[in-house]
Structure 1
C-alpha cells in the first residue's frame, strides 16, 4: 500500500520522537528531567477548573463553529489591553494554536507556494506547511546574533513570486528571541511591498524580560488587512491540555473563508471554551508573578549553560526557551546517549535536538532547545547533570 506524499514528507516532531528513549530510561529506574517540551509546571488558574465543575447543562451540545460568543467577547476585551481592536466577526476560536496555524496556511497558500519563516522555528510551521504541499523558505538566524533577523537584503533574496506569507513566533519558540520594533516594522514593510500575509504567532506575548518593549503586528499601521494573529491559552495560562486557540484578523473576507474550515470540523470542545472564558478574566498580577518565576528560571539555565566549557548561547529575552550550541558531534545522538547510557546518581536530562527546528539542511546539528519550565531546584540539578554529561560524552568536540 502506498501513502500520500503529503504525509510521508512531514517530519517527525523533534520534540516528541525521542520519547521512547525517555520511557526506556524511566523503565531502568532513572529519573528524567524533561527540558525538551514546553509544558509549564505553573498551576492553571483555579477559575478554569471551577467553571467546568460548575457547568450544569443537561446536554453537552455543539458550540458554534466560530466559537462561543462569550469567549470571543473576552478575547476582544483582552486585545483592547494591547490597543488592538477587533469585532466579533474578526475572531475565530480554534483547537489550540496549532489548528489556527494550519487554517491560516491553508487560507493563504496553494500547493506549490512558499511561506517565509525565520529559522530555527516552531516545527509545526514546517509540518503543517508540508501537509498541504506548501514549502518553508527559511530566513537563517544565528546563535551568535541572539537569533535576531538578518539584513533586509538577505530576507528579500528568499522572496519570489510563489511566496505568499511570512510566519514567525514573537517572542520566539524555540529561541526565546524578542524581535525589536524595527525588526517588526521591517517585516511589515516587506509584506506591503511584496503583497504578503503575516501569520503572527504571539502565544508567548506576556513572557518578555529585562524591561524590553514588545511590539505586536496588531499594532503596526497600514498592514491590518494582511495580519493574522495566532493565539492560545496553552502557555499564557498554563493550560496546554485545554487545546483552545484563536485567530484574529481585520481582514473580514479572509475570516469568512477560514470560517468554512471551522464549519468543516464542526466546533471546538464546549467545556474547554467554558473554562477559557474564565481564563481570559485572570487578573494582571497573575502574569507579574509568573514572569518573576520564569525570569529566575531563565537565569539559572543561562548561568548553568555558561558554566559548561564550549557552549555558545545568548541570553534569551522572551518565552521560556533557549537554543544553545553544544560541544558535541550531534545533539540528537547526545540526547539519546544521556537517556540510554548516562546518569548521575540515577538521574538524567532530556533535551530537544534543534536540527528539526531548521529547514536548511545541516544547520542545528549541534544545537538543542532547552525549556526552562521546571522548578529552581530541578533546573539547578539539570544543569549540573548536563555539565557532567558534556564532559563525559564520547562525541565531545571541545
Structure 2
C-alpha cells in the first residue's frame, strides 16, 4: 500500500478548526454554539467592494498578471503611501491570501533545514507553512505576565545559528493582540542588520489598534530595505476573509524576483476577488472609525467579563481582535472538546481555540485558550457566562 510523505505526517492540525466536528455534533443536538474560536468578523464587508462584484461586466474570467492586476497594485501602492509606507507597484505581488504570501516569503528566502525565529505564541499556521517549506521554527517565548511583550533581544540573539535566515513577527499579534512599539521594531531591525537576516512582518491587522497606540511597519524603517518583507491581506481589514487576496511586499529586488517565480508557477491570483479588493480601497474612513470603536467596546466587554471568573489570567490586547486567556483548568484541549461534547447551559455552549497549538515549544499553553472577540457584545457576555459555569462544572468532575 502506498504511504504518504513524512511532510504530510508532520503537518500540524489547525487548533482553530480541529474541533469543528464536535461543534457540528453539538449543533445537531440543537445546541447554540458561540464561536470564540475563529477570527471571522461579523462586520459587514464595505459596500463599495460588494457593489464592484455586483457590477462586473465581464464575458471571460481571464488570468490576471501573475503579480496581480496592475491597477490594483498601483492603488495599493497609493494606500501604503498614505500609511507612511513608500512602495511602488514593483515592490508588490498580489497573492491568494496572506497565507500564500507567507509561503512565497519562506520559499524565496529559506532552504530545506533553514531556521526561522518566531516569538510564541504565534499564529498556528506558521507551523504549517514552515513544515510545508521544510523550515525549522525556533521559538522565543513571550509571557502572559508581561502582556506578551517582545522578548529581550538577547533571547533572540542566543538562538541565532548559521542556519537562521529570518525573524517572523505578527504585528498586531494573532493570537495575543500585542502591538509592538516603535522601539521594539527598531530593536529587531538592528538585530537583523547585525546578523544579515530577513525580518518578515505579518501586518494584516494594521488598522486594528486601540487606546491611541500607533502601528509601526517594518517597511517604514530607513536602511532596512534589503531585510524587510511585509505580509498583508484584505481578510480582516475589510471583513473579506473569503476573498483570499493578500500580498507580499519588499524593496529587496532579489526577494521579489524569486517570489515572482512562485507567483508564475501558480499562474495568477483570483480575478473577481481582485476587483473587489481594489474597490475596497475606496472604503471611507468612517467605516474604519466605526469598526475600531466597535472592536474596542467588544474587547473591553470581554476583558471585564473574564475578570469576573476566579483564577483566569488575561492580558489586555492592544490590537487585532484576539486575546489569550489562562484558565483554572489542567488541559485546554480536553476542556474545549468537553465544552462541545458534554456541556451546555440552557441549550448553549462555547467553542474556543486551545492555545497549545499556537506554541511550538512542547508543554506550553496547556491551560490557555485563544478567544476571538468577533461577536457582538451581548453574545460575548453570554459566552463568558457559559464559560464560567463550564469551568466550575469541569473542575467538579
Decide: shared fold, TM above 0.5.
yes
Counterpart CA distance in 2 for 1:252 and 1:89 is 9
Gaps of 5+ in 1: none
Gaps of 5+ in 2: none
User: Cα offset for 1:83?
Assistant: 1.5
User: Cα offset for 1:336?
Assistant: 0.7
TM-score, length-scaled by structure 1: 0.98
Tell me the residue number matched to 2:226: 225
User: Cα offset for 1:213?
Assistant: 2.4
Structure 1, residues 201-251: CA drift from partner, whole Å, max 9, x if none?
000000000111221111111111111100000000000000000011111
SS at match of 1:393: helix
Tell me the residue number matched to 1:196: 197
Tell me the residue number matched to 2:320: 319
TM-score, length-scaled by structure 2: 0.98
Tell me the residue number matched to 1:213: 214
What does 1:148-297 correspond to in 2, within 5 Å?
A: 148-297=149-298
Query: Where do 4+ consecutive residues of structure 1 move more than 6 Å?
Result: none
Whether the aligned pair in 2 keeps the contact of 1:94 and 1:100 (CA below 8 Å) is yes
What does 1:33-112 correspond to in 2, within 5 Å?
A: 33-112=34-113
Which stretch shows the higher mean deviation, 386-395 or 276-285? 386-395
Counterpart CA distance in 1 for 2:47 and 2:323 is 29
Counterpart CA distance in 2 for 1:28 and 1:88 is 52
Counterpart CA distance in 2 for 1:319 and 1:206 is 8
Counterpart CA distance in 2 for 1:156 and 1:305 is 36
Counterpart CA distance in 2 for 1:149 and 1:302 is 22
Whether the aligned pair in 2 keeps the contact of 1:209 and 1:295 (CA below 8 Å) is yes
Provide closer, same or farther for how the CA distance between residues 395 and 213 of structure 1 changes in structure 2, counting only shifts above 3 A: farther
Tell me the residue number matched to 1:139: 140
Whether the aligned pair in 2 keeps the contact of 1:329 and 1:395 (CA below 8 Å) is no
SS at match of 1:324: strand
Whether the aligned pair in 2 keeps the contact of 1:328 and 1:395 (CA below 8 Å) is no
Provide closer, same or farther for how the CA distance between residues 265 and 168 of structure 1 changes in structure 2, counting only shifts above 3 A: same
User: Cα offset for 1:84?
Assistant: 1.1
Whether the aligned pair in 1 keeps the contact of 2:177 and 2:318 (CA below 8 Å) is yes
Counterpart CA distance in 2 for 1:199 and 1:101 is 9
Whether the aligned pair in 1 keeps the contact of 2:112 and 2:135 (CA below 8 Å) is yes
What does 1:9-24 correspond to in 2, within 5 Å?
A: 9-24=10-25
Aligned residue-pair number: 396
Counterpart CA distance in 2 for 1:60 and 1:82 is 32
Whether the aligned pair in 1 keeps the contact of 2:30 and 2:347 (CA below 8 Å) is yes
Counterpart CA distance in 2 for 1:280 and 1:38 is 21
Tell me the residue number matched to 2:357: 356
Structure 1, residues 6-33: CA drift from partner, whole Å, max 9, x if none?
1211100000011000001001110000
Counterpart CA distance in 1 for 2:251 and 2:285 is 26
Counterpart CA distance in 2 for 1:31 and 1:218 is 44
Q: Provide the aligned C-alpha RMSD in A.
A: 1.0
